[in-house]
Structure 1
Amino acid sequence: MGHSTGRHRWWRPVLGTLLALGVYVVLVVLLIALSYGFGAAAGLRELPEGGHDFGPLVNTALDLTFIAVALPLMLLAVWWPGRRPPGTLSSVDGRLRWRWLVRCLLVAVLPVALLAVSAVFLPDSGSGSGESVVWVGWRSFLTSLVVLAVFVPVQAAAEEYVFRGWLTQAVGAFVRSPWFAVIPQAVLFAAAHGWGTRWGFLGLLVFGLVCGGLTIRTGGLEAAVALHALNNLMAFGVAAAIVDGLSSDETAADSPWQLALVDMATTLLYAALVLWLARRHRPQRFSPPVSESAPPPWDVRPPAGARFTDPA
């Protein structure tokens, strides 16, 4: 997408990555300091790992916010120093294609539902401690769902814009085949979730590879965002239904082999369904060619020598 605008320079992806990473670290430190200050002022209990205990739901919302702040930083990195419209990070159309996103969300319901059922009934797929599961009650559960419905999609989208968006396009600017850009982002995506079990890491790696492949095959991030958001909503929703479920520090990286295998199978099922859907609706896959006489549709710069007059 950087090349398609005609403004690509080799240093733009490098500088954008360094600046976004630096600003992200600063913002997270500031958010941690603010939350610590509020917690201290409210006299809340300090946690062993640092910070204060705002309660499972607020703590989860804070953790999601720390990730979500990366989303505007990626868009800013595309705009400057990338010097191209932020929408070119979303798709080859230069925007987020909402109709295609909704279709992908509907397709994701079946695979995510199968994964949710498996998470409940597979052995060793729960907490792994042998403790009994206690229902939190409808009031607490519905309150948690409302909060999670606000924060989780933004957090999931932020991860997709970082890995399948910025990193894929940054690496893709230096290789001839876009498929070589899929592997680095998938490895970094799995590593970013920490090292839990080998199967958990493999499941995340497959997820990153599949989402990267779908991004290229469909020409945008919509398919990856849909699966990631719905998958995370399911995982957090299941945790919110259990007493102290949101307090657990386990992630997908800690998945046992049974659940990791089901996760990989449902991810591949989703990929097959999206590719089938893409054959029917044919979303745009390639960016428009660069031409001085016919610039890309998202390029709103006035032509050279254009003059403006006051309509009044």
Structure 2
Amino acid sequence: MSPTFESYVAPARRHPQIWRLVLGLVVIIAVYILWMAGMGVILWLNTGTDALEARLARIGRGGDPLSLLLLLLTFGGLALGAVLAARLLHGRGAGSLFGRAPVVLRDFALGVGILGGLAVLTGLPMLWMTDLDPGVPLRLWLNFLPFMLLALLLQTGAEELVFRGYLQQQLAARFTSPLVWMVLPSVLFGLVHYAPAEMGANTWHVVLATGVFGLVAADLTARSGSIGLAWGLHFANNVFAILIVTAGGALDGMALTRLPYGPDDVEIMRPLIYADIALIIVAWALCRLALRAR
């Protein structure tokens, strides 16, 4: 391990036992479920029993701005679970999951800038040549935008805390091989995006794409000593995919534009999935160059 990554992993070495990691994952899942249950109770108190089931289904789909916002807020339980697992089972604070604050902020901005710039240079011109369907009205989009950006910060940050923070750190504290601490969290990250109901025949291709992103994020975390770069790339990717243009079918309630086909379309969507993989790899290479130049 590089000295930078060793410093990032050091807090996890105090209690590196595998049983603590397994129990920590149980804590994360339990807190996540309890958080969602609490949100469900609040919804029930506001909507009543008759309307609750329909409302929950709409939230699960993210089919309108408010529903999508509530769906993203459920990730607060994931972040809280990671913080509690680190504190209760490993005796370390929330800050150790992020890395040093100045590094996190600097690298987050770098990740957003690199992937955001690539998306503007490559993605938007391609979409300009595509017949897009209109999404939410611009005024409604602008009204929800500040809240949605904060919710996306929470959602992407929560996933990075769990996969590149807690899980990668604790595995690296116990195992020296990157095949364990880099590959295993990335495989799990890909598998949690397994959604055959929405993705159809493209499901495993989407899992592959998210797994590749996981590997990129894990490598950049190891080389930078914080989740900042991974978080920035993740945030920029989700802003583009959720707020700018979406294939529809799920998480499409806040997009300005929609592609005229669903995420399960093989002929059109599969090449786009692999174009997205290529974009992530280019972003990774640019991030590596930026790190090397420091």
Whether the 8 Å CA contact 2:12–2:92 is kept in 1: the answer is: yes
Higher alpha-carbon deviation: 253-262 or 143-152: 253-262
Q: Which amino acid in structure 1 is aligned with residue 161 of structure 2? A: Y
Rounded to whole Å, the distance in 2 between the matches of 1:175 and 1:252 is: 38
1:25-84 per-residue CA deviation (whole Å, 9 max, x = no partner) reads 22212212322332228x858528747899711100111011232112212221222102
Q: Which residue of 2 aligns with 1:292?
A: none
Whether the 8 Å CA contact 1:186–1:212 is kept in 2: the answer is: yes
Q: Which of 268, 291, 310 is equivalent to 2:281?
A: 268
Whether the 8 Å CA contact 1:45–1:52 is kept in 2: the answer is: no
Matched, 1:25 2:33: yes
Give how far 1:22 is off.
1.7
Give how far 1:229 is off.
0.7
Give how far 1:4 is off.
4.8
1:111-137 per-residue CA deviation (whole Å, 9 max, x = no partner) reads 2324642773587xx9xxxxx713543
Assess, with a 3 A threshold, how the Cα gap between structure 1 residues 203 and 156 changes in structure 2: closer, same or farther: same
User: How many pairs were matched up?
Assistant: 270
Rounded to whole Å, the distance in 1 between the matches of 2:262 and 2:291 is: 31
**SS of residue matched to 2:293:** helix
Q: Which of 227, 247, 253 is equivalent to 1:246?
A: 253
Rounded to whole Å, the distance in 2 between the matches of 1:40 and 1:252 is: 33
Q: Is there any run of 5+ residues in structure 1 with no aligned partner, and where?
A: 127-131, 282-312
Q: Which residue of 2 aligns with 1:7?
A: 14
**Who wins on radius of gyration, i.e. which is larger?**
1
Assess, with a 3 A threshold, how the Cα gap between structure 1 residues 114 and 3 changes in structure 2: closer, same or farther: same
**Structure with the higher helix share, 1 or 2:** 2
Rounded to whole Å, the distance in 2 between the matches of 1:15 and 1:95 is: 31
> RMSD over aligned Cα, in angstroms?
3.4
Give how far 1:180 is off.
2.4
Rounded to whole Å, the distance in 2 between the matches of 1:118 and 1:186 is: 30
Q: Which amino acid in structure 2 is aligned with residue 187 of structure 1? A: V
Rounded to whole Å, the distance in 2 between the matches of 1:17 and 1:115 is: 38
**SS of residue matched to 1:193:** coil
Q: Which amino acid in structure 2 is aligned with residue 38 of structure 1? A: N
Q: Which residue of 2 aligns with 1:153?
A: 153
Whether the 8 Å CA contact 2:12–2:169 is kept in 1: the answer is: no
Q: Which residue of 2 aligns with 1:141?
A: 141
Normalising by structure 1, we get a TM-score of 0.74
Q: Which amino acid in structure 1 is aligned with residue 274 of structure 2? A: L
Q: Which amino acid in structure 1 is aligned with residue 67 of structure 2? A: N
Normalising by structure 2, we get a TM-score of 0.78
Q: Which of 265, 276, 280 is equivalent to 2:293?
A: 280
Q: Which amino acid in structure 1 is aligned with residue 94 of structure 2? A: P
Q: Which residue of 2 aligns with 1:16?
A: 24
Assess, with a 3 A threshold, how the Cα gap between structure 1 residues 259 and 15 changes in structure 2: closer, same or farther: same
Rounded to whole Å, the distance in 2 between the matches of 1:6 and 1:55 is: 43
Whether the 8 Å CA contact 1:111–1:266 is kept in 2: the answer is: yes
Q: Which amino acid in structure 1 is aligned with residue 222 of structure 2? A: I
Q: Which of 65, 86, 99 is equivalent to 2:94?
A: 86
Percent identity of equivalent pairs: 24
**SS of residue matched to 2:14:** coil
Q: Which residue of 2 aligns with 1:75?
A: 83
Q: Is there any run of 5+ residues in structure 2 with no aligned partner, and where?
A: 1-7, 256-260
Instruction: Give 1:1-312 correspondences, 5 Å limit.
Output: 3-4=10-11, 7-10=14-17, 11-40=19-48, 46-47=53-54, 50=57, 56-91=64-99, 93=100, 97-114=104-121, 116-117=123-124, 120=127, 133-195=133-195, 196=199, 197=202, 198-239=204-245, 245-246=252-253, 256-281=269-294
